[in-house]
Amino acid sequence: MKKKLILAAFTLLSIVSNAQQLNMDFESWDETNPETPLPDNWVVANGMGQFGIFRDSVPQQGNYAMTLSRWYYYTFDDAVQQSAVNFKPATLSGYYKYTDNLIEQGGEPYSDTAHVYVFATKWNTQTQQRDTLGSGHLKMFGTDFWTEFNCPVYYTSSDMPDSVIIRLAPTERDNGNMGLCSMKTSGWCSYFTVDNLSLTENTTGISNAPADQFMLYPNPAADKVFIATTGNKTLRYSLTNAVGKTIVQQTPYTTGDAIDIEGLPAGMYFLTINNNGMLSTLKIVKQ
């Protein structure tokens, strides 16, 4: 069953489904195998074992949510849905929890991160391939409580997409996947629970700025970064490096404050802004 679903994931990414987004609240499940039910209209991608996707009976709303996880370092599954669209998606919104995400690598623990991806695509009849017109990526950090997220889609084309791909990943991929779940979790960790997803429409064409109007300046930066936004807001932010290690966690930010990055090595970092439970992740390039 799992091998068929993995094969279906790759088939799904190459064609357009006739259906609109379905089972975004994870209420409907395939119980062909009652011990490992799988959410209808979602497929498994990059699976490396027989585990990783669970029906969660403590949802944000309704009867069920979906939980993704990893086991040690060699078993973790993503959930993917591709469907036809007749509008330009602007934001993927939903609710999530992310728990037991401590990873140990080389004797040094660090916090794992979950990920949300959105791709707006269109079939190219000349190349017989899909063109990506817009994409969005949100990095998710640990929380024991249901937290709202918003993942904006940024476009490089004014064309109308005919398909949208949503991909949910429970673990960081950029560290070689060699970190082990903390022994406190008995081999299981990085529980990424998701519920009540929805897409909003982009009516303005190409989107070069986040939907919530957050921007970072200067970027690249050598010593300080500021968050630019509309109005005066009291925010919280977390800062992680490119391999998911938390540098600063859940620190208050008031409009006009400077974020000190002077002592950090040069490279790429991710700043996740929490605005009353709504999350946005922006990249920082440290010179």
Structural domains of the chain ordered from first start: 2-201 (2.60.120.260), 215-286 (2.60.40)
The model's pTM is 0.68
- Listed in sequence order, the DSSP H helices in the chain are 2-12
Per-residue pLDDT reduced to its tens digit, 35-79 = 788 899 998 876 544 468 889 999 999 999 999 998 776 677 889
- Choice between 108 and 50, residue whose per-residue pLDDT is larger: 108
Percent over 90 (pLDDT), the chain: 24
pLDDT winner (highest mean) among 49-58, 124-133, 236-245: 124-133
Q: Which residue did the predictor score with more confidence, 199 or 231? A: 199
Residue 86 carries which DSSP code? S
Report which DSSP code applies to 57: S
- Do 196 and 95 meet the contact criterion of CB atoms below 8 Å apart? yes
Report the range out of 60-69, 165-174, 255-264 with the highest average pLDDT: 60-69
Q: Label residue 160 by pLDDT band (50, 70, 90).
A: very high
Q: Which residue has the tokens 């979950």?
A: 114
pLDDT of residue 231: 60
pLDDT (mean) for 91-108 = 85
Q: Looking at this protein, which amino acid is placed at residue 118?
A: V
Q: 152-156, 197-201, 230-234, 238-242 — which is least confidently predicted?
A: 230-234
In this structure, of 30-34, 121-125, 153-157, 240-244, the range with the lowest mean pLDDT score is 240-244
Name the 3-class secondary structure at 164.
strand
Instruction: With beta carbons less than 8 A apart as the criterion, state whether 231 and 205 touch.
Output: no
- On the 0-12 / 13-18 / 19+ scale of CB atoms within 10 A, 117 is middle
